[in-house]
Chains A and B, each alone.
Chain A
Amino acid sequence: MKEEKGKKTMKEKLEQIKAEALKQIEATSAQSSQALDKLNEIRVNYLGKKGELTALLKGMKDVAPEERPKVGQMVNEVRSEIEEVLEKATDKMKALALEGRLKGETIDVTLPAKKNNVGHRHPNTIALEEVERIFVGMGYEVVEGPEIETDYYNFEALNIPADHPAKDEQDTFYINGDFLLRTQTSGTQVHEMEKGKLPIRMIAPGRVFRSDEVDATHSPSFHQVEGLVIDKHITFADLKGTLAEFAREMFGEETKVKFRPHHFNFTEPSAEMDVSCFKCGGKGCRFCKGSGWIEILGCGMVHPNVLTMSGINPEEYSGFAFGVGLERIALLKYEIDDMRLLYENDIRFLKQF
């Protein structure tokens, strides 16, 4: 009877605890800011070490041993029921709290950006890096040569002997009888060949100088990229193929090329390469002066005299060379209408690239 009574009492107590706990939880749900704290308090009060359920379990010693599992099960059932309800309530509270916080944190996304103000590359360099990327991809090495050169490397070794009119055509700045500001990057061809390492596949970008007065289309200092390939069995067809590939990479997949005979002392046969106008696609516009073609570079098969002077046997080796004007590409590609802008360094200009 004692046990009966005890059991009943236990059960009643449990029911009572459960009812109270659930009531408190429900009451909390409706509340706001401290709701989560309140729920935690309820957890501690009922389920904690000093909570009511724990306290109730302490009364187990009064329960008959055979009844204890039953009672234990009942206690556990009540505990999990309360826990479940508590958890649901907590989740709900958390969701509500998060929702509230997010609502309060709304920003005006149209306010100005905080930029790192990264600087900008010069358009010449952008064009140069493009050229380098293409030729490095084709296995070319990028090298450099001196800007102040000897007459030998700038002219003589390129098959432009003393007194040749080509020397005047290029309006050379002289330092003295022998030293000059290079008028073309072509001298790097000779430096490279003289190293004696064959085959050669190189490009050589750099500053060149000609005594042209400064105006919208002229500058006494500008940049070229020289190219040179020397190997056995290099042909004019290889020259055409390589430069056509370059043009497609540089100006777009649809670009067509046209090779016209031309004359350079250090190449024979020589050519100029036109590309189909990358502005109008060849229909004719102001950039191509209505012709649909734009002159891009000079090229040719390395002259046997040049090979011989650089210590390469023209009976065994052949090669091709080309020279591109960087400014020309930059001006055309970016529609820059005045060359002087490239050397003024106005930040409003530079920032556009």
Chain B
Amino acid sequence: MNTALSWIKAYVPELDCADQEYCDAMTLTGTKVENYERLDKNLEKIVIGQIEKIEKHPDADKLIVCQVNIGSEVIQIVTGAPNVKEGDKVPVVLDGGKVAGGHDGGPMPEEGIKIKAGKLRGIPSNGMMCSIEELGSDRNMYPEAPEFGIYIFPEDAQVGADAVEALGMRDTVFEYEITSNRVDCYSVLGIAREAAATFRKPFVPPVVEVKENGENVNDYISVEVKDPDLCTRYCARVCTNIKIAPSPEWMQRRLRASGIRPINNLVDITNYVMEEYGQPMHAFDLDTIAGHKIIVRRAADGDKFQTLDEQVRKLDKDILMICDAEKEIGIAGIMGGENSKITDDVKTVLFEAATFNGANIRKSAKRLGLRTDASGKFEKGLDPHNAEAAINRACQLISELGCGEVVSGMVDVCQPMKDEERIKFEPERINDLLGTDVSVEDMMSIFKMLEIEYDESTNELIAPTYRQDILCCADIAEEVARFFGYDKIPTTLPAGAATAGKLSFKLRIEQKARDIAEYCGFSQGMTYSFESPRVFDKLLIPEDSPLRNTVVIANPLGEDFSIMRTISLNGMLTSLATNYNRRNKDVRLYELGNIYLPYQFPLTQLPDERMQFTLGMYGEGDFFTMKGVVEEFFESIGLKKKTVYNPKSGKPFLHPGRQADIEYDGVTVGYLGEVHPTVCDNYDIGTRAYIAVLDMPYIVERATFDRKYEGVAKYPAVSRDISMVVPKEILAGQIEAVIEQRGGKILESCQLFDIYEGEQIKAGFKSVAYSITFRAKDRTLEEGDVAAAMKKILNGLESLGIELRS
């Protein structure tokens, strides 16, 4: 909301402060000033001059030489402007002055533009006549300004006077951020009331007295509200003998500062009252209203209606319409109809000031794609009392500005209004909540400023009707806090029993995952939780895969962000691709993020959110590098049992011969592998890439930070090396399983130290060599112990079809 400070001062006449001071003080009481701008920024030494004589420039066809009376003297100015004539009164920048912008209306330089006396084509020019653009404004705000050329003042402008003042630019426009609970502050009066309380100055609202012409409004119009749930109040007044003319300068200036373009007295009055009271109004040409009757009712599904912007709108049964006896004439609270539009020939005007259901207006405007100034105000839910106040203020202005006559009386269809809010006054509770010691007297003086009444007989506070946000003791406490000063409230720390600060176990495991990934050279990435349904095709995931059963966003930003991911790989592969395409070498990334698995369709319970620890890399390293990270992680979180890598993982997005499920404790807790070359192609990754995905809930369940010292070996170890010829399809994991099962208690470890396939080995076989270490905790092993264990191992290996070489 933008408002000129001069307008605020009109209702707080004693307000006297610098711009910055006003900004800070208002912000600290809750009316946040976002920004402010002086309208006369960079406008220096600009007066009203009158052109006394115009001659042609002797050496330039497009230039003229003007003698301009600036009050104190007559100066010569050369200009190329096409629109001036002798006798015109114009803004003149004197030598050494400044203007805000160039005549082309382009971006304005921060420091403005200095104007100096000089010569144009040899003829001295001692100043410059300005266009509205050079004065930092535009034709939207000053529609009387010519499209090209110098601004021309009305004939009664005073020669030699301050031109900036005459244009109403000696003012500051403040932009406020109003919070949604303070509907009353979306108005000049609301802000003025806050300003008065902030600076402890009297608030002087306009005195509204309507001069009526004695005719009866009921002879002109009747109103029927058929859907009172959507329209709690409808006030109608009639003005006759309308004379359309420009509104007065003061009104135009205020509207301009608020960013509203002046049009004519009638339109300007409705806009002015909307700004002043925060109550949108609508003016109909009464002669276009059939049967002189207003009916407020819902539209029917499929109805069409042409709004005054000449667009045809499709309606539905939840949109409230203003109708006459025959037809629809406006969309309630949003926009009037083309068919009842005010024209310059209007004779009789029907004013409407109503209170519509805010939520309904908001939704209707959204469905129609038509959000107007009016709907923006209505949707916040207005105070029905304000409708009457505003319509009377508009009628007062009609008669005061000579725009027309006001017919006596008002048609008022009003639902019973809500009782005023009465709140028990509990000063101790207020101080307890704030941690303050504000006296009852101080509280009372704050209430008085805010027009909150105190009923001594019941010890209750009564909030004014426009303060729909004051409903309970905490709301009262906020009022006290705001005007006592948030900055004056003491600063303490909570007392009470100490609590142990800690991370949840899940978060501690995740922290460990980050640590290990980073030790292993992986950097943390973050990707979105939603993605495109097309990712499944990119990942070669079959049509019937349960992964394609996704939680779908009903109103996504676009198809690319429309489903909640059921697999974490797309984000990782996209990030790897980004790096690959930017020629980054040896990239290692990890992510900790959820996938979202629905339990059933339609969704009747929230989906299963499963944290995934996803690793991805290309460049240096291979499958076994990735496997190493998994094992480092498992070790660090106490997963000490044997991890099984099952090559029958069946992941379509991974290389069929280079993938494995990671099985721990009989559960598949993740998978790893080389990305399938087709998938790499789909993501434009032009090299081998590797991924690992760990399903954290399973892992967190099994992880532990408990450790127990097991002692270091005291007795010597005995090693045996075995070299084998192994059928190709036998996996190292199978050999190790045999060794581990059969090695007995004294087996300490087995270590692969050679693997070879090639010429010396017969077809279908490979040569594999292991070093097996035995050790007893309590004694030195004897040859017999080792021999017995080795025999069992070798027997086992032979049953796998393995031949021993030595």
Q: Mark A161-179, 1 if CB is under 8 A from B, else 0.
A: 0011110110001111001
Residues of B417-437 whose CB lies within 8 A of A:
432-436
Report B-chain residues with C-beta under 8 Å of the C-beta of A136.
501-503
Q: Is the CB of A118 within 8 A of B474?
A: no
Q: How large is the interface on B (under 10, 10 to 19, 20 to 34, 35 or more residues)?
A: 35 or more
B524 touches A260 (CB 8 A): no
Flag if B582 contacts A346 (CB, 8 Å): yes
- B596 interfacial contact with A, CB 8 Å: yes
Give the segment of B2-10, B555-563, B692-700 that binds chain A.
B555-563
CA distance A20 to B459 in the complex (A): 122
Interface residues of A in 232-280 (CB under 8 A from B): 232-238, 240-242, 244-245, 258-263, 265, 268-271
A273 to chain B, nearest CB (A): 10
Question: Are A347 and B529 in contact, with the CB atoms below 8 A?
Answer: no
Chain A 152-163: CB-based contact to B (< 8 A → 1; otherwise 0):
000000000001
Interface status of B135 (Cβ within 8 A of chain A): no
Quick check: B520 and A119 within 8 Å, CB to CB? yes
CB nearest neighbor in A for B480: A269
- Assess the B555–A142 pair: CB atoms within 8 A: no
Chain A's nearest CB lies how many Å from the CB of B467? 13
- CA separation between A95 and B366, bound complex, in Å? 91
Q: Which residues of B contact A220 (CB under 8 A)?
A: 528, 530, 557, 561
A35 to B475, CA, bound (A): 96
Give chain A interface residues in 193-216, CB to chain B under 8 Å. Answer: 199, 201, 207, 209, 211, 213-214
B67 at the interface (CB under 8 A from A): no
> In the complex, which residues of chain B have a beta carbon less than 8 angstroms from the beta carbon of A117?
521, 586
Report yes or no: A199 in contact with B491, Cβ–Cβ below 8 A: no
What CA separation (Å) do A301 and B475 show in the bound complex? 11
B76-117 interface mask toward A, CB cutoff 8 Å, 1 = contact, 0 = none? 000000000000000000000000000000000000000000
B residues within 8 A CB of A124? Answer: 526
CB contact list, B561-588 vs A, under 8 A: 561, 564, 575, 578-579, 582, 584, 586-588
Interface status of B712 (Cβ within 8 A of chain A) = no
The answer to whether B579 and A148 touch across the interface, beta carbons within 8 angstroms, is: no
Q: How far is the CB of A153 from chain B (nearest CB, A)?
A: 10
Considering the chains assembled together, what is the distance between the CA atoms of A261 and B518 in angstroms?
A: 43
Q: How far is the CB of A243 from chain B (nearest CB, A)?
A: 9
User: Which residue, of A135, A140, A148, A244, has the highest number of chain B Cβ atoms within 10 A?
Assistant: A148
Report Cα–Cα, A351/B434, bound state, in Å. Answer: 46
A140 to B501, CA, bound (A): 4
Q: Tell me the complex Cα distance, A303–B498, Å.
A: 24
Which of chain B's residues have a CB closer than 8 A to the CB of A138? 501
Task: Report which residue of B28, B30, B526, B589 has the largest number of chain A beta carbons within 10 angstroms of its beta carbon.
Answer: B526
Bound-complex Cα distance A269 to B433 (A): 9
Closest to A172 in B: B555
Q: Is A229 interfacial (CB 8 A cutoff)?
A: yes
Pick the residue among A146, A163, A179, A304 that contacts B609 (CB under 8 A).
Answer: A146
Contact B554 A174 (CB under 8 A): yes
B606 touching A237, Cβ below 8 Å? no
Listed residue (A140, A240, A258, A262) with the most chain B CB atoms within 10 angstroms of its CB: A240
Cβ-defined partner of B495 (8 Å) among A116, A148, A233, A351: A233
B450 to chain A, nearest CB (A): 13
A260 to B31, alpha carbons, bound, how many Å? 9
Contact with B along A89-109 (1 / 0, CB 8 A): 000000000000000000000
Nearest chain-B residue to A129 (Cβ)?
Answer: B511
Is A121 an interface residue when CB atoms closer than 8 A count as contact?
A: yes
Residues on B with C-beta less than 8 A from A347 are: 523, 579, 584, 587, 589
CB <8 Å contact, A119 and B518 = yes
Closest beta carbon of chain A to B58's beta carbon, Å: 50
User: Is B494's CB within 8 Å of the partner chain A?
Assistant: yes
Q: Contact partner of A238 among B30, B494, B519, B553, CB < 8 A?
A: B494
Cα(A192)–Cα(B596), bound, Å: 22
CB-defined contacts of A245 to chain B, threshold 8 Å:
493
Q: Does A114 contact B (CB under 8 A)?
A: no
B506 at the interface (CB under 8 A from A): yes
> Does chain A have a CB within 8 A of B379?
yes
Kindly identify which residue among B182, B497, B527 contacts A343, using a CB–CB cutoff of 8 Å: B527
Among B276-284, B482-490, B746-754, the stretch in contact with A:
B482-490
Instruction: Give CA–CA (A286, B556) in the complex, Å.
Output: 34
Please indicate the chain B residues that have their CB under 8 angstroms from the CB of A294 in the complex.
Answer: none
* Residue in A165, A181, A241 whose beta carbon sits within 8 Å of that of B358 in the complex: A165
B628 vs chain A, min Cβ distance (A): 14
User: Is A59's CB within 8 Å of the partner chain B?
Assistant: no
- Cβ < 8 Å to A, chain B residues 496-519: 496-504, 506-507, 514, 517-519
Contact of B526 (CB < 8 Å), options: A120, A122, A262? A122
* A337 beta carbon closer than 8 Å to chain B: no
B362: CB under 8 A from chain A? Answer: yes
Give chain A nearest CB distance to B479 CB in angstroms: 9
B143 interface contact, C-beta 8 A? no
CB contacts (< 8 Å) of A163 on chain B: these are 359
**Closest CB-CB distance, B599 to chain A, in whole Å?**
12
Are B475 and A268 within 8 A (Cβ)? yes
A136-B501, A242-B494 known; A211 vs B584 contact (CB < 8 Å): no
In the bound complex, how far is the Cα of B522 from the Cα of A207, in angstroms? 22
Cα–Cα distance between A351 and B602 once the two chains are bound (Å): 44
Please give, as numbers and ranges, the residues of chain A lying within 8 Å of B719 by CB-CB distance: none
Q: Is A147 an interface residue (CB 8 A)?
A: yes
Chain A residues within an 8 Å CB radius of B660:
none
Chain A residues contacting B379 (CB-CB under 8 Å) are 165
> Are A269 and B478 within 8 A (Cβ)?
yes
- Complex Cα–Cα for A236 and B433 (A): 6
Partner of A263, one of B180, B495, B564, B603: B180
A52 in the interface (beta carbon within 8 A): no
A119 with B588: in contact, given A142-B504, A147-B594, A237-B434 (CB under 8 Å)?
yes
A343 touches B528 (CB 8 A): yes
List the B side residues contacting A74 at CB < 8 Å. none
Q: Which of B492, B494, B519, B564 contacts A231 (CB 8 A)?
A: B494
B32 touches A (CB below 8 Å):
yes
Bound-state CA distance A169–B362 (Å) is 11
Judge whether A269 and B477 touch: CB under 8 Å: yes
Which residues, 394 to 447 on B, are CB-close (under 8 Å) to A?
432-436
Chain A positions within 8 Å of B174 at CB level: none
B27: interface (CB < 8 Å): yes
When chains A and B are docked, how far (Å) is the Cα of A209 from the Cα of B564?
12
Q: Is B527's CB under 8 angstroms from A141's CB? A: no
Instruction: Give CA–CA (A120, B606) in the complex, Å.
Output: 34
Q: Does B181 contact A (CB under 8 A)?
A: yes
Known contacts A138-B501, A142-B504, A238-B493; A259 and B434 CB within 8 A of each other? no
Structural contact, A234 and B494, CB atoms closer than 8 A:
yes
A136-B501, A138-B501, A168-B362 known; A148+B179 contact, CB < 8 A: no
| Interface residue A350 (Cβ < 8 Å from any Cβ of B) | yes
Partner of B557, one of A137, A211, A260, A268: A211
State whether A235 touches B496 (Cβ < 8 A).
no
Residue of A nearest to B503 (CB): A142
**A39 CB, nearest partner CB in chain B, Å:** 37
Which residues of the other chain, B, contact A344 by a CB distance below 8 angstroms?
Answer: 575, 578
**Given A166-B180, A175-B554, A345–B474 Cβ distance below 8 Å?**
no
Instruction: List B residues 155-184 near A (Cβ within 8 Å).
Output: 179-182
User: Which B residues are in CB contact (< 8 Å) with A303?
Assistant: 474
- Give, as a whole number of angstroms, the nearest-CB distance from B428 to chain A: 12
* Interface contact A122-B525, CB-CB below 8 Å: yes
Question: How many angstroms from the CA of A241 to the CA of B593 in the assembled complex?
Answer: 34
**Contacts A234-B494, A301-B474, A350-B524 known; 5 new A-B pairs at CB < 8 A:** A119-B519, A201-B494, A233-B496, A235-B432, A345-B579
Chain B residues near A (Cβ < 8 Å): 27-30, 32, 179-182, 358-359, 362, 366, 379-380, 432-436, 469, 472-475, 477-478, 481-482, 486-487, 489-504, 506-507, 514, 517-530, 551-557, 561, 564, 575, 578-579, 582, 584, 586-590, 593-594, 596, 602-603, 606-607, 609
| 5 sampled A-B residue pairs with Cβ under 8 A | A142-B502, A175-B551, A207-B593, A236-B436, A269-B482
